[in-house]
Structure 1
């Protein structure tokens, strides 16, 4: 996807996401009165700006598992709930985790997870699609972070989602992050099935020496 198209898709979504968080926190003054929230907003904008140049796309490629599109339909509303509800519960003091240390831990996790989410997009470029699909000229990448785990971007998504929740001290945000796990596991299974069919023994060998998400555990 070209830079202008990625910008057209990414920037309004990020503006809406941050806008919901500001609204949930009670407005700009209330949101930007906390240094950790200022930090998490800056990181969000920076990562989103970088994503515009990543080369990712939403192409169905030469072969797509369309049956897995339900995962996107589930994750999008969870994402926007995660934008608003943690900020709102932080404002009203509902199910919050105490202390600025929790907020700064959240900023650190959001930053690290966001980078891990975005790094594979730059590595794969046009081969990285928001859909479960084989792209033209698709090649199996097994080096770098992919030499350790097969789905670093999904791990990054979970870590950054948890970090966002903790930046607002929000127990409900942690719960929303947990709600993402089953849809992501379904998507992982669909991706691996498609890649196994496409690459055959090479992918089987790759799976045998790597973990899906957590090195040595899963």
Structure 2
């Protein structure tokens, strides 16, 4: 049970961190309310679905201490990658796929290897959390996974338009989500 509480506390701290860090970011050049609401809706649905009898099988927590330990390590590693990516983006971070005012192409930190380390970290954190907690994190993994895969393509297309001279070479030398794979 301690592992489960740790996972929830870690996610809460991550949400607080991301909320505080969103203060002072560069403005989007246009609003993207549908994307923001879609992300929020997916998270709410992920936490509601395990309460339906049809999906009771995902409520398998708690698991043994060894498997829980593996899950916690994966979750923390994913969150650390996500935070590192967020730090590297600085004021160019956005909750949505959008062009920022005075947008810059960030290629340092984890962006030196991955084009989307925040998504990779978020997915890894969801995998670890799903191992420990099950239920809502299983659905969060599935729903955010689909959203993140869509966003990888959308962001790559946006960056290719925004940085036509720099992005193609950057895309050739980096992977999207998984180092050495994709």
Q: What range describes the TM-score normalised by the shorter chain of this pair?
A: 0.7 to 0.9
How far residue 118 of structure 1 moved from its aligned partner, in angstroms, is: 2.3
Three-state SS of the structure 1 residue aligned to 2:44 is helix
Partner residue of 2:68 out of 103, 119, 142: 103
Contact 1:161-1:177 within 8 A present in 2 as well: yes
Q: Which moved more, 1:153-162 or 1:115-124?
A: 115-124
In structure 2, the gaps of 5 or more residues are none
CA pair 163-78 structure 1, distance change in 2 beyond 3 A: farther
Counterpart of 1:182?
146
Three-state SS of the structure 2 residue aligned to 1:149 is coil
Q: Does 1:123 align with 2:96?
A: no
Contact 1:110-1:162 within 8 A present in 2 as well: yes
Counterparts of 1:114 and 1:36, CA distance in 2: 16
- Report 1 or 2 for greater relative contact order, CA contacts < 8 Å, sequence distance ≥ 6: 2
> What are the Cα deviations for residues 185-216 of structure 1, in whole angstroms up to 9, with x where unaligned?
22121111111111102100100100000111
Q: Could you tell me the TM-score, scaled by structure 1's length?
A: 0.68
> What are the Cα deviations for residues 153-201 of structure 1, in whole angstroms up to 9, with x where unaligned?
1111111122222221x27743541333232222121111111111102
CA pair 85-182 structure 1, distance change in 2 beyond 3 A: closer
Partner residue of 2:161 out of 177, 192, 197: 197
Contact 1:149-1:215 within 8 A present in 2 as well: yes
Counterparts of 1:206 and 1:130, CA distance in 2: 22
How many residues align structurally? 178
> What are the Cα deviations for residues 93-131 of structure 1, in whole angstroms up to 9, with x where unaligned?
734274232222222222221222222222222210112
Q: Could you tell me the TM-score, scaled by structure 2's length?
A: 0.80
Counterparts of 1:56 and 1:94, CA distance in 2: 40
CA pair 147-213 structure 1, distance change in 2 beyond 3 A: same
Q: Does 1:38 align with 2:9?
A: no
Counterparts of 2:20 and 2:135, CA distance in 1: 34
